[in-house]
A and B are shown apart, each in its own frame.
Chain A
Amino acid sequence: MSIEQKQKEVFAEFNMFDDWMQKYEYIIELGKELPLIDEEYKQDDYLIRGCQSRVWLHANPTSDGTMHFTADSDAIITKGLVALVVRVLSGAKAKDIVSADLHFVKDIGLMEHLSPTRSNGLASMIKQMKLYALATSAGKN
């Protein structure tokens, strides 16, 4: 499934919810369900510092240029959002990640979480994922 298809899928899921509560209940559920990262990567080397919540990110590119990500956060809502981003980007080709427009966050009404003032580490995580992808795709050329 392409990044675009996955974004549409997430949008369709969130479209079912009538109000912010159901939306956030779902995000919290996503956050709780996913043991996202191996403990060995949950340390400072993999830490993306947000002002308020911490995000850990590990990238594992395979030889064909596909990127696999695992991540985690100490805040449950951030963790749920992280899970969504990982779901959309993990398994995609590095070059597609570099050029991806992640409009789904805005589409599902969660844009506020990407604002720099929010400082939850999510925006920095997306930037870091793109940088990993860029490094991988550069290495392939």
Chain B
Amino acid sequence: MSRDVYSKPLVYFDNAATTQKPRIVIDAIASYYTLKNANIHRGAHFLANLSTGEFEDVRELISRFIGSVEKEEIIFTSGTTESINLVAQSFGRKFLKRGDEILLSELEHHSNIVPWQMVAEDVGAVIKVIPVTEIGELDLSEIDALLTERTKVLGITHVSNALGTINPIKELVRKAKAVGAYVLVDGAQAVSHMRVDVNDLGCDFYVFSSHKLYGPMGVGVLYGKRSLLEQMPPYKGGGEMIKTVSFSGTTYNDLPYKFEAGTPNVEGVLGLGAAIKFVLELGMENIAIHENDLIQYATSQISAIEGIQFYGTAPKKSAVLSFNVEGLHPYDLGTLLDKQGVAVRTGHHCAQPLMEKYGIPGTVRASFALYNLKSEIDVFIVALEKAVKMLKA
């Protein structure tokens, strides 16, 4: 995307909310509707076979992209939120009972809090929370006290959306496994920035969204270990997820279709496939290097602004710069940056418990993607200086 806002070239630094889409993703969607549109997995005609084949190819691509053992372990959902709800409801109702504990962290997005609260209330489970240190890292000194044989699930974000902190997932999974807990990792903010290997991480579930990974909106992924997915009951009923239906009883389809009721978002899945090919072609390592350059540069440039306060300064962090300027409200800064053509996110970033911990209404968050440039950071810094000057005048 390249366009003007308020007669200024747009600088888009709200990539943690959603990324812009490369041409090949838009083309893949257009091509689907121009040449391939048919309902998949049914009908033996040419188009149905073509689109079914491409749809299933993307499943396989994703399986390789995140290192799962089999492609049947990849379930398409509408997004990270639905993926977590699916696990909370389906896994939660089957495996959780009164008094069991669900361990989350203060870094979690509301999407990885509320679904667990809902199932906890239903089954009588208890939510526990890993605290966060001043610099925005998980306080691992508490972990041994929090992870006990009562812990059944650890729900943890791979990368914090509000601060950018990268969590030590492998170590957490190892500790969780030692007490027999299952682990769901929220990868929404991770997959576009780094190579993810679920096999290496050892987690039971890994979830992410297409639209934060240069793909279209309305598609998400749930990876789950086959042994668990097979034991879990379907989450939604409908077509596609059944083997046979009669009014005396219905038998459910095999994985992954058991969890994919109804006509799926075919255009979205094909678009996501194009997006994954796009990042793989660039190379996840190259993307990480470029984004690391951007965050280092932005951090050093912005440090010169008087009264700047950073939130999330963990040594291991992704391309997110969360900050406030002393005495100024993030909404005011965001409004004046917007008027100068710079799109950032302001507010609590759907992480109210975290903002409460820091005692602030929110932060200004600039989040970078592979297409951002240092020259855009220069524009952003000048705009920020002007905003601060106007507000402090």
Contact = CB atoms under 8 A, between A and B. Distances in A.
A25 B339 contact: no
A126 interface: no
B330 interface: yes
Contacts of A25: 390, 393
B46 interface: no
B331 A75 contact: yes
17 contacts: A21-B390, A24-B336, A24-B390, A28-B391, A51-B348, A52-B330, A52-B346, A53-B329, A53-B331, A75-B329, A75-B332, A76-B329, A76-B391, A77-B332, A77-B335, A78-B332, A120-B331
A21 B6 CA distance: 12
B218 interface: no
Contact of A78 (B331, B339, B362): B331
A87 interface: no
A74 interface: yes
Interface of B: 6, 328-332, 334-336, 339, 346-348, 361-362, 390-391, 393
Interface string A56-78: 00000000000000000011111
A52 B361 contact: yes
Nearest to A29: B393
B393 A28 contact: yes
A116 to B, nearest CB: 14
B222 to A, nearest CB: 28
B347 A52 contact: yes
A24 B334 CA distance: 13
A6 B331 CA distance: 27
Contacts of B329: 53, 74-76
A28 B331 CA distance: 13
Interface in A47-103: 51-54, 74-78
Interface in A1-56: 20-21, 24-25, 28, 51-54
Contacts of A21: 339, 390
A115 B82 CA distance: 27
Contacts of A51: 347-348
A24 B393 contact: no
Given A76-B332, A77-B331, A53 B361 contact: yes
Contact of B339 (A24, A75, A76): A24
Contacts of B393: 25, 28
Nearest to A51: B347
A54 B329 CA distance: 11
B361 A74 contact: yes
Identify the 7 closest CB pairs spanning chains A and B, nearest first: A75-B329, A75-B331, A52-B331, A52-B347, A53-B331, A77-B332, A20-B339
B388 to A, nearest CB: 12
A76 B332 CA distance: 7
A78 B328 CA distance: 12
A19 to B, nearest CB: 10
Contacts of A74: 329, 361
Contacts of B334: 52
Contacts of A53: 329, 331, 361
| Residue among B6, B335, B347, B390 with max Cβ neighbours from chain A (10 Å) | B335
Nearest to B338: A112
A23 B135 CA distance: 38
Contacts of B6: 20
Given A24-B335, A24-B339, 5 more contacts: A20-B339, A51-B348, A52-B348, A74-B329, A120-B331
A77 B347 CA distance: 15
B17 to A, nearest CB: 12
B297 to A, nearest CB: 27
B391 A54 contact: no
A52 B330 CA distance: 8
Contacts of B335: 24, 77
B326 to A, nearest CB: 14
A52 B362 CA distance: 7
Contacts of A77: 331-332, 335-336
Nearest to B327: A76
Contacts of B328: 76
Contacts of A76: 328-329, 332, 391
A112 to B, nearest CB: 9
Contacts of B332: 28, 75-78
Contacts of B361: 52-54, 74
A119 B345 CA distance: 12
Contacts of B348: 51-52
A114 to B, nearest CB: 13
Nearest to A31: B332
Contacts of A75: 329, 331-332
Contacts of B390: 21, 24-25, 28
| Residue among B329, B330, B332, B393 with max Cβ neighbours from chain A (10 Å) | B332
